[in-house]
Amino acid sequence: MASRRKLTSGMWSSIWPDTFVVIGITICFGFIFLYRLGYQSLQSFDEAWYAAIARNLATGKAAPFFSQFNGAIYTDHPPLGFWLMAASMRLFGINEWAARFPLALAGVGGLLACYWLARSIGGKQAGLVASLMLGSSLWYVFRSRSANLDILVSALMTVAVALLVSALKKPRLIYLAALGWGLALLSKSVVALTLLPGFFIWFLIVPLKIKPKLFLFAGFVLILLAIVIPWYRINYLWHSNSIFYNLFTIGLRSGTNHVSLEAVNQNLLYLRSGIGKWYYPGLISLPVSVFLVFLKKIPSTIIYIYVWLLAILTPLALSAKTEVWHLIPAYPPLMVVSAITLFALIRLVATHLTPLSILGRNFIPLLATATVAVLALLQLKSFWTLVIPSAFAVSQEADIAKKAAIYHQPLYLKAYFWPAAVYYSGQDFITFLDLAKDAHQVMVTLLRQQPARAMFIVPFTELDSLSQEDVNFTVLERNSAYALITGAD
């Protein structure tokens, strides 16, 4: 009876701390990511774009395997993110909050996966610190409150790697890792492909006999293909050219991955602006952690994090077309390495310094965790007003597009906010005049030849030039930035 009571006590003592941490992360960052989530209009690129695609799915205007935007099939990205946004819209209505809600949940899920991954290698405090660092990074917070796909693919990749590492002890978890990776590939394919080297290494070195290893590999491949192949196969049959364009031109940024010191410096600046206070600790932890691995102070399983980080950063660092949000999938592995290195160093120093060894077991790790928590709070405070709106705000683009929704003429756009115009006007097709070689002259011709048959959204400053060219037009609606006009006889 005593031994049973002791075992039960040990079980609860190991379970409750994790439970408290998971609940704490979920509540704290759930509040940060969801607070006033629908207070601002969707941004044209790419929030309104993706929300318009999701709305078509939610309303039945597009089939699940054929994403559609502005009357055309959209294949730049696979559909998982759009499916989730469409499901949210079906539940909560067609609005900004519903479009952003699934990505906010993905942001919280990514933090929990980061905690799980760092904990599995470096312990519970390393897991907590990694999640605090990630959750207080500016661009992670910003994108978690945005209807974009970066956080979704980042979270799913982190889940897949956490399962991959756990599968070293329980090999059958590789099936769930395949599920996580497949869903990541169904969110943003090219960046998710960076997990391939890690899975290759796992199958290469996992200590299993040939037959069970082949059995695991066959199941892994079947699960992966079952998730990824249907959408790619269907869209390849119908739109083979656009699928290749998605993979090799957009995803790989063909012709831009050349070695350039200027590009590397720019991308390091992007990384620094994205993670703030964690930039230097992150960079320093990389060589230090390698040294600690050789000293056997960090488990060798951290190699999977190195491979993951290297596979993401190498092409991005060298590309002149990398944007700050492209680096978000690199945040979780960098934070995991930083947190694991921090506590490995504490343990190393504490074992060699007698005064610290007395305190090192509990007090110093607790102090380090508290310090990171304070720094995380300070960093969140520093950009709080940048990501959390103080009041409801409707953008000028959304305002003029909503005003256009009450009219029924064909709509032309002579301004660079095509996705927002499509989303907020509710029109299935808008002609984007800036795609034309001489957009202004095309608009003048249409106003003269088809008076009152079409509407045009134009910058307010363009009205003077139309008047100077003796073009007759009527202003239907206006705001401080744009006007909705039509031709006049």
Q: CA separation (Å) from 209 to 205, 213, 215, 389?
A: 11, 6, 10, 57
Contact (CB, 8 A) for 100 and 151: no
Tell me 278's DSSP state.
G
Retrieve residue 106's tokens. Answer: 């993905």
> Does residue 446 or residue 292 have the better pLDDT?
292
Helix axes 279-294, 261-275, angle to 10 degrees: 100
Q: CA separation (Å) from 119 to 36, 52, 116, 289, 440?
A: 32, 39, 5, 16, 59
Mean pLDDT, rounded, for 258-286: 90
Mean pLDDT, rounded, for 404-425: 90
Q: Which range (2-16, 382-396, 399-413) has the least confidence?
A: 2-16
> Does residue 252 or residue 78 have the better pLDDT?
78
Mean pLDDT, rounded, for 481-487: 93
What pLDDT, on the 0 to 100 scale, is given for residue 246?
59
Q: Please check the confidence at residue 37 and state whether its pLDDT lies above 70.
A: yes
Mean pLDDT, rounded, for 52-74: 93
Interatomic CA distance for residues 416 and 305, integer angstroms: 40
What pLDDT, on the 0 to 100 scale, is given for residue 2?
44
Q: Give the number of other Cβ atoms within 10 Å of residue 29's Cβ.
A: 25
Retrieve residue 55's tokens. Answer: 């709305």
Residue among 23, 5, 42 nearest 394 (CA): 42
Query: Looking at 366-454, which runs of residues are DSSP E strands?
Result: 411-413, 430-432
Q: Where are the domains of the chain?
A: 20-387, 396-487
Residue among 272, 271, 291, 278 nearest 341 (CA): 291
Q: Please check the confidence at residue 458 and state whether its pLDDT lies above 70.
A: yes
Interatomic CA distance for residues 37 and 18, integer angstroms: 28
**pLDDT tens profile 92-136:** 999 999 999 999 999 999 999 999 999 999 999 999 999 999 999
Retrieve residue 333's tokens. Answer: 């592995």
Interatomic CA distance for residues 158 and 127, integer angstroms: 13
Tell me 195's DSSP state.
G
What pLDDT, on the 0 to 100 scale, is given for residue 476?
94
Residues in the chain: 489
Interatomic CA distance for residues 234 and 243, integer angstroms: 10
Contact (CB, 8 A) for 26 and 112: yes
Cα-Cα end-to-end distance for the chain: 96
Contact (CB, 8 A) for 118 and 335: yes
What pLDDT, on the 0 to 100 scale, is given for residue 335?
98
**Mean pLDDT of all residues in the chain?**
89
* Single-letter code of the amino acid located at 138: L
Interatomic CA distance for residues 291 and 285, integer angstroms: 10
Q: Please check the confidence at residue 85 and state whether its pLDDT lies above 90.
A: yes
**pLDDT tens profile 151-175:** 999 999 999 999 999 999 999 999 9
Mean pLDDT, rounded, for 448-464: 86
Query: Looking at 16-104, which runs of residues are DSSP E strands?
Result: 68-69, 72-73
Q: Report the DSSP beta bridge partners of residue 483.
A: 458, 478
Interatomic CA distance for residues 278 and 132, integer angstroms: 10
Give the list of residues 6+ apart from residue 195 with CB closer than 8 angstroms, or none.
Answer: 157, 160, 161, 164, 181, 184, 308, 311
Residues of the chain with pLDDT > 70, as a percent, come to: 90
Helix axes 49-58, 80-92, angle to 10 degrees: 60
Interatomic CA distance for residues 48 and 96, integer angstroms: 9
Confidence band of 337 (pLDDT split at 50, 70, 90): very high
Give the list of residues 6+ apart from residue 480 with CB closer than 8 angstroms, or none.
Answer: 396, 460
Confidence band of 79 (pLDDT split at 50, 70, 90): very high
**pLDDT tens profile 183-217:** 999 999 889 999 999 999 999 998 889 999 999 99
